[in-house]
Amino acid sequence: MAQNVEPGTASGYQRLSLWWEAVPAPLPPRPVLTQDLQVDVCIVGAGFTGLWTAHALARTDPSLRVAVVEREVAGFGASGRNGGWCSALFATSDAALARQHGGDAMRAMRRAMQETVDVVGATAAGEGIDCHYAKGGSVDLVRSEAQRVRALAEVDQARAFGFGDEDLRWLGRDETRELIGADRVLGATFTPHCAALQPALLARGLADAVERRGVQVYEHTEVLDILPGSPGSRPSVVTRGGVVDAEVVVRATEAWTPTLPRLHRDIVPVYSLMVATEPLGAGFWSSAGLEGRATFADHRHMIIYGQRTADGRMAFGGRGAPYHFGSSVRSSYDAEPAVHALLRRTLTELFPDLEGARFSHAWGGPLGIPRDWHSSVGLDRDSGLAWAGGYVGDGVATTNLAGRTLADLITGADSDLVALPWVGHRSPRWEPEPLRWLGVNAGLWTMKLADRSEARRGRPSRVAGAMGRLLGQ
């Protein structure tokens, strides 16, 4: 089981998630920062954001001195524990993007995300990383009348925004059944822009790849503060072992951002939890389908997500764990027995043939939510500080786009990427406590209640819609 993790030991890391169990042991020893350092770019955090940024920088300009500084080990955070959906989903809805930035900018963002799904697969393959990448699309099931109303509205909206069948289409009941043998299905929406992958193998493989390209990766090195520069001075990164002085510092700490000085209201950490079965037999898969490894979810309010793994398991997750007061992030929050039990029940309800199957893993991790649900990437030239994050639950592909965009911003490349509407976006700060605790947990409860009410009455819940509008979605 991936619970009661003891970070700091190799076995502890391997228990972070199902995915981590497949990471070859022992982990290669990486240096700890023990003295002051001067580099061109210092990246704080060795998750996908930090590693993709290092990768893009090393590729764009191999002469740059780049250091990545990580408190635990590369892939320790959400990047080594997620659902492995490498999808074109972007946290901010198309409607909100179009409202704030205009229709063309929204479409450019969407197309960039779609391309990124392929870029991740191609780059991993190019670096010799076998992360079980399979681009089978994603199927979003409809299992009630209320879900049907929402799904059809989503397809209508996609058409109104200029996206055709090749981006999102409605599947009737029979067509859905050909793809996935889930129970009580009325239909589905399907997008081809998604791949399933094994995230820990990708994160660890990327860390090796950037080292091969000359990037220094320091592990077990906690960053205590990031100090901005000014037009006359460079920014710096303060660790216990030494201070890193750099031209640019990239903050890639996502859900841990509020644990850094002065940033405690920038991002809210919310936990997403997962379970996995043992490998399932051919009999199960002959009825459950998912041969091309399409990822799956349904149109309920409280997010659920699943994938058929390369070794024939179901890996399944969902939100619903409570937000912890003061935006605190602790390993003990990765295990929430009631939510794990609910996930096992929900998956078995979707696939009744799982009754009696053994669930071998349960784990979780924090993701980061900005106040306006708007992911962003940017570089402030005056302070030398760069950042990327606020992906909500859609960071697997978005981090790659962030990394390539940051490399262009840092090297001054005048590319299409730096003109995308999330570049330079600043989200408002979250409310102080206890308002933050009340607001976030009220939001989570609203989603749960809305799903329960829809399951009972069949009609779309108005409360959830109102909550969505409040959050700017």
Ligand X SMILES: Cc1cc2nc3c(=O)[nH]c(=O)nc-3n(C[C@H](O)[C@H](O)[C@H](O)COP(=O)(O)OP(=O)(O)OC[C@H]3O[C@@H](n4cnc5c(N)ncnc54)[C@H](O)[C@@H]3O)c2cc1C
Residues that bind ligand X (CB under 6 A): 44-50, 69-72, 76-79, 81-85, 87, 222-223, 252-256, 260, 272, 274, 305, 317, 364-367, 389, 391, 393-396, 399
**What residues have CB less than 8 Å from 406, skipping those under 6 apart?**
53, 56, 57, 250, 377, 379, 386, 388
Let me know: does 390 contact 91? Beta carbons within 8 Å: yes
3-state SS track over 63-81: CCCEEEECCCCCCCCHHHC
Please, which residue, 146 or 397, has the CB nearer to ligand X?
397
Please, which residue, 257 or 383, has the CB nearer to ligand X?
257
Please, which residue, 44 or 268, has the CB nearer to ligand X?
44
Let me know: does 389 contact 376? Beta carbons within 8 Å: yes
Please, which residue, 367 or 418, has the CB nearer to ligand X?
367
Taking CB atoms within 8 Å and a gap of at least 24, the contacts of 376-381 are 376/422, 376/423, 376/424, 376/425, 376/426, 376/427, 377/401, 377/402, 377/405, 377/406, 377/409, 377/422, 377/423, 378/409, 378/423, 378/424, 378/425, 378/426, 379/248, 379/406, 379/409, 379/410, 380/228
Let me know: does 153 contact 170? Beta carbons within 8 Å: no
Asked if residue 434 has a cis previous peptide bond (ω within 30° of 0), the answer is yes
Q: For residues 140 and 147, what is the distance between their CA atoms, to the nearest angstrom?
A: 10
> Minimal distance in Å, beta carbon 282 to ligand X?
26
Please, which residue, 146 or 209, has the CB nearer to ligand X?
209
Amino acid at 437: W
Q: For residues 1 and 25, what is the distance between their CA atoms, to the nearest angstrom?
A: 17
Q: For residues 367 and 426, what is the distance between their CA atoms, to the nearest angstrom?
A: 18
> Minimal distance in Å, beta carbon 283 to ligand X?
27
List, in sequence order, every residue forming a beta bridge with 140; answer none if it has no partner.
189, 297
List, in sequence order, every residue forming a beta bridge with 317; answer none if it has no partner.
274, 305
Please, which residue, 254 or 408, has the CB nearer to ligand X?
254
Please, which residue, 45 or 229, has the CB nearer to ligand X?
45
Please, which residue, 189 or 272, has the CB nearer to ligand X?
272
97: closest CA among 320, 319, 449, 376? Answer: 376
> Minimal distance in Å, beta carbon 252 to ligand X?
5
Please, which residue, 372 or 394, has the CB nearer to ligand X?
394
> Minimal distance in Å, beta carbon 367 to ligand X?
4
Please, which residue, 13 or 170, has the CB nearer to ligand X?
13
Q: For residues 467 and 167, what is the distance between their CA atoms, to the nearest angstrom?
A: 27
> Minimal distance in Å, beta carbon 405 to ligand X?
13
> Minimal distance in Å, beta carbon 462 to ligand X?
28
How far does the chain reach from its first CA to its final CA, in angstroms? Answer: 36
> Minimal distance in Å, beta carbon 271 to ligand X?
7
**What residues have CB less than 8 Å from 445, skipping those under 6 apart?**
none
> Minimal distance in Å, beta carbon 399 to ligand X?
5
> Minimal distance in Å, beta carbon 71 to ligand X?
3
> Minimal distance in Å, beta carbon 427 to ligand X?
15
- Residue with smallest beta-carbon separation from ligand X: 395
Q: What angle do CA 126, 130, 132 make, to 5 degrees?
A: 120
Please, which residue, 127 or 222, has the CB nearer to ligand X?
222
Measuring CA to CA, how many Å separate 380 from each of 105, 228, 290, 410?
22, 10, 45, 10
> Minimal distance in Å, beta carbon 168 to ligand X?
17
> Minimal distance in Å, beta carbon 52 to ligand X?
8
Let me know: does 51 contact 207? Beta carbons within 8 Å: yes
Please, which residue, 146 or 248, has the CB nearer to ligand X?
248
Q: For residues 293 and 277, what is the distance between their CA atoms, to the nearest angstrom?
A: 16
